A and B are shown apart, each in its own frame.
Chain A
Amino acid sequence: MSGTLFYGGTIVTQDPKYPAPEAVLISCGKIVAVGDLADIQPRADKATVQHDLAGQTLLPGFIDAHSHPIWAAKTRGAPVVDVRANIVPTYAALIGKIKRRVAVAAPGEHLLFFGLDAQLHPDMEAPTRAFLDELAPDHPLGIQTSNCHALFLNSAGFKACGIDETTPTPTGSIIERDENGVPTGKIAEAVTWTALESFYEAWGARRLAEEVEQQILAFVANGITTVTEHLYMPFYKASYMAALNQKLPLPRVACYQQATTPDMRVEKLTDADDRLWMAGVKIHADGSPFIGNIWLTEPYLSNEITLERMDLKPGHTGGPNYPQEYFERMVREYFSAGWQMTVHTQGDRTIDMVLDLIETLLEEMPRPDHRFRLEHCALMRRDQIRRAHALGVQCSFFINHITHWGAPIEDALFGPERAAHYMPAGSAVAEGMRISLHADTPMTDASALDLMQAAVTRRAADGRCLGEGERLDIETALKSVTIDAAYHIGMEDQLGSITPGKHADLVILGANPLETEGDRLGDIPISSTWLAGERVYGG
Chain B
Amino acid sequence: MADNKRPTPIPLATVGGFLGSGKTTLINHLLNQANGRRYVVFVNDFGAINIDLQLVETIEDDRISFSNGCVCCTLNDEFVGSVAEMSKRQDRPDAILIEASGVADPRALEASLSALEASNHVRLETALYIVDAGCFGQRDYAEVEMLIDHAATSDLVLLNKSDLVSEQALDGLLQEFSVAAPYAATLATVQSCVSPALLFGNSDRPTRPEAKAGPHRHPDYHHWHYSGRDPMTRDALVELTKILQQHFFRIKGIVQSAADPTIWLSLQVVGTRAVIGQLPQGFTGKDAVEIVGIGIGPKMRRVELDRSMAAFEETLKPTPALPAMFTGKT
Contacts and interface: CB of A to CB of B under 8 A. Distances in A.
Chains A and B form a bound pair: yes
B109 to A, nearest CB: 11
Interface in B145-199: 145, 148-149, 152-153, 176, 179-183
B214 A88 contact: no
A461 B213 CA distance: 5
Given A93-B181, A120-B210, A403-B213, A87 B176 contact: no
Interface string B121-142: 0000000000000000000010
Given A88-B149, A523-B114, 10 more contacts: A85-B213, A86-B210, A86-B213, A92-B179, A92-B182, A101-B141, A214-B299, A407-B209, A461-B212, A525-B108
Nearest to A405: B213
A200 B144 CA distance: 25
Contacts of B318: none
A89 B141 contact: no
Q: Which 7 A-B pairs have the closest CB atoms?
A: A523-B111, A461-B213, A104-B141, A78-B298, A86-B213, A461-B212, A85-B210
A214 B299 CA distance: 9
Main secondary structure of the interface of B (DSSP, over half): loop
B219 interface: yes
Interface of A: 77-78, 81-82, 84-90, 92-93, 96-97, 100-101, 103-104, 120, 122, 210, 214, 400, 403-405, 407, 444-445, 447, 450, 461-462, 519-520, 522-523, 525
A184 B145 CA distance: 30
Given A89-B183, A100-B144, A523-B114, A404 B214 contact: yes
A520 B112 CA distance: 11
Which of A86, A445, A447, A450 has most chain B Cβ within 10 Å?
A: A86
B152 A93 contact: yes
A445 B298 contact: no
A89 B298 contact: no
Interface string B22-41: 00000000000000000000
Nearest to A406: B213
B94 interface: no
B298 A210 contact: yes
A37 B216 CA distance: 41
Contacts of A523: 111, 114-115
Contacts of A101: 141
B205 interface: no
12 contacts: A78-B297, A78-B298, A85-B213, A86-B216, A97-B145, A100-B144, A104-B141, A210-B298, A403-B214, A461-B214, A519-B118, A522-B215
Contact of B152 (A89, A400, A444): A89
Contacts of A88: 149, 152, 180
A444 to B, nearest CB: 6
Nearest to B152: A89
Contacts of A120: 210, 213
A462 B210 CA distance: 8
B111 A445 contact: no
Contacts of A445: 214-215, 217
Contacts of B230: none
B211 interface: yes
A405 B217 CA distance: 17
B62 interface: no
Interface of B: 108, 111, 114-115, 118, 141, 144-145, 148-149, 152-153, 176, 179-183, 208-217, 219-220, 297-299
A328 B145 CA distance: 48
Contacts, number: 91
Given A96-B180, A100-B141, A87 B213 contact: no
Given A87-B149, A100-B141, A450 B183 contact: no
Nearest to A119: B210
Given A89-B208, A100-B145, A104-B141, A404 B217 contact: no
A84 B214 contact: yes
A407 B211 CA distance: 13
B144 A89 contact: no
A404 B108 contact: no
A93 B180 contact: yes
Contacts of A447: 215
Contacts of B111: 522-523, 525
Nearest to A450: B215
Contacts of A89: 152, 181-183, 208, 210-211
Contact of B214 (A86, A96, A100): A86
B152 A404 contact: no
Given A523-B111, A525-B108, A86 B144 contact: no
Contacts of A461: 209-210, 212-214
Contacts of A78: 220, 297-298
Contact of B217 (A81, A82, A90, A104): A82
Contacts of B217: 82, 86-87, 445
A93 B181 CA distance: 7
B135 to A, nearest CB: 17
Contact of A210 (B114, B115, B220, B299): B299
Contacts of A450: 215
Contacts of B215: 445, 447, 450, 522
A61 B62 CA distance: 37
Contact of A93 (B108, B114, B182): B182
A31 B181 CA distance: 51
B146 to A, nearest CB: 11
A93 B210 CA distance: 14
